[in-house]
Chains A and B, each alone.
Chain A
Amino acid sequence: MSGGSARSLAKGSAPPGPVPEGLIRVYSMRFCPFAQRTRLVLKAKGIRHQIININLKNKPEWFFKKNPFGLVPVLENSQGQLIYESAITCEYLDEAYPGKKLLPDDPYEKAYQKMVFELFSKIPSLVASFLRRQNEEDCSGLKEELRKEFSKLEEVLTNKKTTFFGGNSVSMIDYLIWPWFERLEVLELNDCADHTLKLKLWMAAMREDPAVSALLTEPKVFRGFLSLYLQNSPDACDYGL
């Protein structure tokens, strides 16, 4: 599994060659929460892969041939097939590769995970808005909205009476939502979870998961990246290398 700490490719870089057989490639960025979903699934399922990091502030021209939207993550296999949209990449990996199934076989339980995913769907944009906030008023309003969304997730855990969102062991839905919860501490948003105790317990349990802990980013490295990223620096994506 190579290239996790490789420098990102930017404008003017040569397009990478085809993906060797027996490997799958993920176009990624070390700090992107959406790409982290895909990397978590690759790790959890033990899938042999290579990572090519993309400089999202200075994208290579060839990258738009991989994904017309120019976003990470994108999967490319040795047949040249391209899959994008993080949730779609995760489901593809679960279906295409053997070993531990992260999505349940039971049709209802699978649908349930997708309904929980919908319940989570406002959180990424709220966190992104929080990053771009201009003043204190924005801040408290956004935190209040975030608390509301956390309450919805708390309700799920309360109703299910399990540690994780899919049952008593980690499954797809937990990996899909984790990246934003990992970032709460460094964004000083941890207090938004003060009243959602089961969610806090879930966060602690997730940190014990082997795939999650293998992919954790040190808070100070993330802070360094964030500061550069918010200034639109083309060096942001390689911070810490």
Chain B
Amino acid sequence: MAALIRGLRAGRVLRGLGSVAVQGTLSPQCSNVRRGFHRAALLRLANDSKSDTSVPPPSYHEVDTAGESSSSSAHGESSEDAQPNTSFQDQSGEHGEDYETEEQLQARILTAALEFVPQHGWTVEAIAAGAETLGLSSASTGMFNNGAGDLALHFVAQCNAQLAETLAEQNNQVQLGQAESKKTAEFLRDAVEVRLRMLIPYIDTWPQAMSILLLPHNIPDSLKHLSTMVDDIWYYAGDRSTDVNWYTRRAALTGIYNTTELVMVQDSSPDFEETWAFLDNRIKDVVNMANTAKQVQATGEAVVQGLMGAAITLKNLTGMNQRR
């Protein structure tokens, strides 16, 4: 493997040929073998382009360096944007210092692809365009078995992580006494608004993403993301319940979030005012329901006490209530 790579380095022509050949075969439905080949070709290309620009070459490669740097600048602009170094595995299987996993690479490609979503929609073309900005071949979409689903799920996960970070930061502020703690209804409202505002740049294509997330094979993952997000919001709102309230609260918030999201995608008012008004009303509904539930419980307890009293009276009347 190492010898092959060194051979590639010496052969500039071979590398040029490789990039053309790989670009020519753009098809997400690759077979496993071809996918593996693409993956290997990509990593080699990625490694070459990165190690050229970031790792200073040893002295005996000086002659090659001049040739490499000129062709690598012609090859692509990508590697400059603060990416982690990648290095290849040599034959003993040891990794170089800043080894990037495949997941990290996929994450980087998908993040770059988000830029092209307004243009291409939530599709494999957007992923291909994203890969190209990183200096990779557009055939790297072969890495994503789920195509557009991967892109949508990645975006959702990214938004949820951002939300969790914001909420944790706010919580920290409150703990340090630098900010006032909000009431639950207000907190929920703000958290949902923050999360939904992350959709604004992609709001035109969001219905497409929603339908992708509702495809049967994506439902488990999208449900997991949704439940994690709702759990995070309630946790930071201060919910520490360990009874059935745990479930009812999360179900209520899930309902609020989903309906508000639906309102948002067809809202055309300035800065989505109607959506936030809708959100306010839904939160008020839930608060009302919670108060009603408390009242019902109090009433229920009173009724039970009444029944117990009746039972004791009955026992007294029938003489069963004697001390043994």
Chains A and B form a bound pair: no
Interface residues of B (CB under 8 A from A): none
Interface residues of A (CB under 8 A from B): none
